[in-house]
A and B are shown apart, each in its own frame.
Chain A
């Protein structure tokens, strides 16, 4: 019995050691990185001139039967990265689609700091996205995926139906606008103390919790103190910053 258990543990350890990281690089440092329907992705900004795609994959039996053949999908795209992704350049942007049909693939992408990001995911498996360090425009739309943004600045438009949105700003860019919305899950935002914004937070069926000093809009000398809508300015006002969580809570924190 003991021996069997030991054998089991050892075999599991061996399996995990076999996980190999595969990479693909593209020389590009401007324009938008458009990720269409990729499952779980982490996108991190860095000071380089290449987009680097990576995935940890278990090297199971390589499909020998498929030797000499290409993977095809219904958009007519081919896996031209070796990672189950099809990458194409369109109008100065880089468009990435998932070609392989496995639902449990995870991708890590390093993107040059001059690029903006667009991510869309609609089906009901996966779709979680984590974005780190981007200071260009971030446009995200998910149905089920959770969105996590760290060390970002905006501008952005982020929306999810069932996923939560957590955003930690390192600074708040004054260009463009910032819109963050979840219908059925929470929105949790952290702002640096010197952030300036014209903020509007709405949660028709949830609660708003905040420890940030907001100068609430006055109408005829009266402030609206209902907890369902808060509209006002932070640090004198600034970028248009709109937050909505229809059926869950909004948390607004200061760093």
Chain B
């Protein structure tokens, strides 16, 4: 009896399912006020649900092969903050060589194979070494927590359908775009910024023109605005090198 409850509790607080192609992990959040997610690689897709946990699912292929061994996902809980950091261990992944002939014809193979066949291959014009990477991370977040999402090389898509209390969301992608959907009826303060990209929206929010001086092309754009009533919550989106898209549901 005791043993099975213990197992059940263990399963409840830390579940890891490792299937062939996907990797899912969940983290309890009833003792947490803020959830902070940082991913180096992979496009992030975020939704919210009435749950007491964060669920992260990796769908990752490198060089055409699904890889879960290379996923490095660490978690830390401290002072009411749950912080998850995702990275990839490239030592676990074999490099890929792509040979380019006459600007067009490409031949791809693993580094191993290349080393074996090197002497018998036709002379190439250009050689690329690296990883052909395709990663998608699906995250389901609990509502009513302070949320901070960050990716370095991936895009972020967020569907936020409003919440009962004040919301506080912060989303940043360094090299990818940020695409967020919210209801046009909610009230929120908005902070949208991009240094080298553009900001697009179909929502009529009220921009505070006193915040930034006249926009100059080199300094990017940083918009502070209010949707409906101010001080009812805050959404901050930043895409340093790419665009921001803010849409109504």
Which A residues contact B (CB, under 8 angstroms)? 3-4, 7, 36-37, 39, 63, 65-66, 68-76, 97-103, 105, 122-126
The answer to whether B218 and A123 have CB atoms under 8 Å apart is: yes
Interface-forming stretch among B105-113, B134-142, B191-199? B191-199
Partner of A72, one of B125, B179, B216, B223: B223
A74 touching B206 by the CB < 8 A rule?
Answer: no
Q: Is A4 a contact partner of B103 (Cβ separation < 8 A)?
A: yes
- By a CB distance below 8 angstroms, the chain B residues around A74 are 207, 209, 211-212, 215, 221-224
Given A36-B214, A101-B215, A123-B218, A73 contacting B197 (CB threshold 8 A) = no
Query: Number of B interface residues, CB 8 Å?
Result: 36
Q: A66-B245, A69-B202, A71-B199 are in contact. Are A76 and B209 (CB under 8 A)?
A: yes
**A69 to B217, Cβ gap below 8 A?**
no
Contacts of A97 in B (CB 8 A): 214-215
Interface of A, secondary structure class, is loop
Instruction: With A65-B177, A74-B223, A103-B218 given, name 18 new contacts (CB 8 A).
Output: A63-B243, A65-B179, A66-B243, A69-B246, A72-B201, A72-B207, A73-B223, A74-B209, A74-B221, A75-B212, A76-B207, A101-B197, A101-B215, A103-B217, A122-B214, A122-B216, A123-B217, A124-B218
B contacts, CB < 8 Å to A: 102-103, 125, 177, 179, 192, 194, 196-202, 206-209, 211-212, 214-225, 243, 245-247
Q: Smallest CB-CB separation from B207: which chain A residue?
A: A76
Most buried by B among A39, A74, A98: A74
Residues of B within 8 A of A126 (CB): 217
Residues of chain A contacted by B194 (CB below 8 angstroms): 101
Bound CA–CA A97/B217 (angstroms): 11
In the assembled complex, the Cα of A73 lies from the Cα of B199 at a distance in Å of 7
The docked-state distance in angstroms from the alpha carbon of A221 to that of B202 is 73
Q: Which 5 A-B residue pairs are closest in the complex by CB-CB distance?
A: A76-B207, A123-B216, A69-B200, A103-B217, A74-B212
